[in-house]
Amino acid sequence: MKILITAGYHLSEDKLDLLRDLGCHPVLWSKEKEPVTEEHWDADILFSYQVFNYTDVRRFHNLKLIQLTSSGIDHIPVEYLREKNIKLCNARGIYSIPIAEWVLLKTMEIYRNSRFYEKAQEAKRWKKHREMEEIYGKTVGIVGTGSIGTETAKRFHSFGAKVVGINRDGRKVEAFDECYSIHHLAKVVGEWDVLVLALPLTKDTEGLINEAILAQMKKEALLINVSRGPVIVEEALMDHLNRERLKGAALDVFQEEPLPEESLWWSHPKVLVTPHVSFLSTSVPERAFQLAYRNIKAFKEGRPLENLQP
């Protein structure tokens, strides 16, 4: 089987040899943001991130399995894959640890006034800010109880917080003290000190955090988004921050990416901005390869696949 690797990761010869030992022929495509050329349209397996942004999936006439290096599948033509019985596996789980750590980092940056001390250091001023808060004793609500939400919940627990989860049906998930259905969000969001968004973007979750939800939040609450930008109605969030109806926000994702230079988010005093990097870690490429290797091996042996999408 031919494996076309467009994942943007450098695979060592040792790793390529592991794939060859499975009876596969791995081919590296280094031009990730260019259309795949005709000599590779016969690939049986794709190990990829954004290949379908640049190459029509119908070009791959032998395609049987896609192993993504992303968790989100909103950029994938899933209906076509179902029609052709092409297996699709995402990378759920490989980014959960760095994202969870990013959430804790940004929460602490806001609670411990890191921005104030960064400015004081730049100005060489020995100055103290007395308004420093703790995570201990806070109530954290996490919308999305999958791998990212679970890893985030574990870390907040270790700081002594109560953690509430929101998912589609309210099912209990380990690592959360309580779980509620998404339909109860408006009723419980007002009890939280921190709202973390860690849910996938779908037609049902787009615009989920709107004026009505924001109006229910505590005035001193934090909002942290590691989901996708469109789950928030950005105009409503900006309005609440401007009117000091929220303590602050940490945003790694936005409606428009890259964020334009003229965007007001860059300079907002209550907002921490990062350029969609919460998932980055030097440990991620190894996790991605190991997941791909296990799934390719399982596929060849006719066994169940990890993270298989319906």
CATH code: domain of residue 71: 3.40.50.720
Domain hosting 73: range is 2-92+282-301
Domain match, 85 and 100 both? no
| Cα(4)–Cα(2) distance, integer angstroms | 6
Paired tokens of 175: 């690592």
- Give the three-state DSSP class for 69: coil
Catalytic site residue 257? Answer: yes
| C-alpha 229: how far from chain center | 11
Domain match, 19 and 59 both? yes
Instruction: Find the catalytic residue in 109, 276, 294, 306.
Output: 276
- Give the three-state DSSP class for 298: helix
Instruction: Find the catalytic residue in 34, 134, 220, 257.
Output: 257
pLDDT of res. 32: 66
pLDDT of res. 7: 63
Long-range contacts of 64-69 (CB under 8 A, 24+ apart): 64/1, 64/299, 65/89, 65/295, 65/296, 65/299, 65/305, 67/91, 67/291, 67/292, 67/295, 67/296, 69/7, 69/8, 69/9, 69/94, 69/288, 69/292
Catalytic site residue 92? Answer: no
Q: Is residue 309 part of a domain?
A: no
Instruction: Find the catalytic residue in 92, 155, 228, 240.
Output: 228
Q: Is residue 307 part of a domain?
A: no
Q: Is residue 58 part of a domain?
A: yes
Catalytic site residue 301? Answer: no
Domain match, 141 and 214 both? yes
Domain match, 120 and 158 both? yes
| Cα(54)–Cα(267) distance, integer angstroms | 34
Q: Is residue 251 part of a domain?
A: yes
Each of the 310 residues of the chain gets a pLDDT tens digit; together they read: 999 998 667 789 999 999 999 999 999 988 767 889 999 999 999 999 878 878 888 999 999 999 999 887 877 899 999 999 999 999 999 999 999 999 999 999 999 999 999 999 999 999 999 999 999 999 999 999 999 999 999 999 999 999 999 999 999 999 999 999 999 999 999 999 999 999 999 999 999 999 999 999 999 999 999 999 999 999 999 999 999 999 999 999 999 999 999 999 999 999 999 999 999 999 999 999 999 999 999 999 999 999 999 8
Rounded to two decimals, the pTM is 0.91
| Cα(63)–Cα(295) distance, integer angstroms | 15
Total number of domains constituting the chain: 2
